[in-house]
Amino acid sequence: MFHQALVHKDYEMKPGHTGWRHLVHSTRYSLKGLKAAFRNESAFRQELGLCMVLIPLAWWIGDTPVEWILLVGSCFMVLIVELVNSAIESVVDRIGPERHVLSGRAKDIGSAAVMLALIMAALTWVLLAADKYLSIG
């Protein structure tokens, strides 16, 4: 039975959307999503601006490739979680304008995910910078 679910026609790719064509279409949709987030989400713009400042600083703070990827990766994680949160908020808003406990819960949980990503990024940057400049390690 499990095998049948894997080969069921509902799970097959759309005809004509394989290989390079699929990659091109997927890339277009991804860029469209980034553009929509930039235009419509002020938090995304603010976090992107902060990342544009922090990522060049990662070259000075990170002494090893691992430290560099931790610093840059924490920036990207914030952006990724913000994109997911914005998508959740858009879907909830699309469902309807009325207030509902589940709609509020979904938005609050998405917001909590962004907060945790920001805390993790801040801890990463502070600890690596302190280790380099204050010799705490």
Model pTM above 0.85: no
Q: Is residue 112 part of a domain?
A: yes
Structural domain boundaries enclosing 62: 42-133
What is the per-residue pLDDT for 132?
Answer: 87
Q: Is residue 52 part of a domain?
A: yes
Q: Is residue 94 part of a domain?
A: yes
Q: Which residue carries 């544009």 as its tokens? A: 52
Q: Is residue 33 part of a domain?
A: no
Question: Which parts are annotated binding residues for substrate?
Answer: 43-47, 82, 111
3-state SS string over 72-125? Answer: HHHHHHHHHHHHHHHHHHHHHHHHCCCCCHHHHHHHHHHHHHHHHHHHHHHHHH
Active-site residue list = 82
Query: What radius of gyration, in Å, describes the C-alpha atoms of the chain?
Result: 20
- What's the CATH code of the domain at 106? 1.10.287.3610
Question: Which parts are annotated binding residues for ATP?
Answer: 29, 41, 89, 98-100, 107-108
Q: Is residue 25 part of a domain?
A: no
Per-residue pLDDT of the chain (137 residues; tens, 9 = 90+): 455 555 555 545 566 677 899 999 999 999 999 999 999 999 999 999 999 999 999 999 999 999 999 999 999 999 999 999 999 999 999 998 889 999 999 999 999 999 999 999 999 999 999 998 887 65
Q: Is residue 91 part of a domain?
A: yes
What is the per-residue pLDDT for 101?
Answer: 96
Q: Which of 22, 31, 126 is nearest to 83 (CA)?
A: 31
What is the per-residue pLDDT for 10?
Answer: 52
Q: Is residue 19 part of a domain?
A: no
Question: Which parts are annotated binding residues?
Answer: 29, 41, 43-47, 82, 89, 98-100, 107-108, 111
Cα distance between residue 105 and residue 100, in whole Å: 9
Q: Is residue 129 part of a domain?
A: yes
What is the per-residue pLDDT for 18?
Answer: 78
Number of domains in the chain: 1
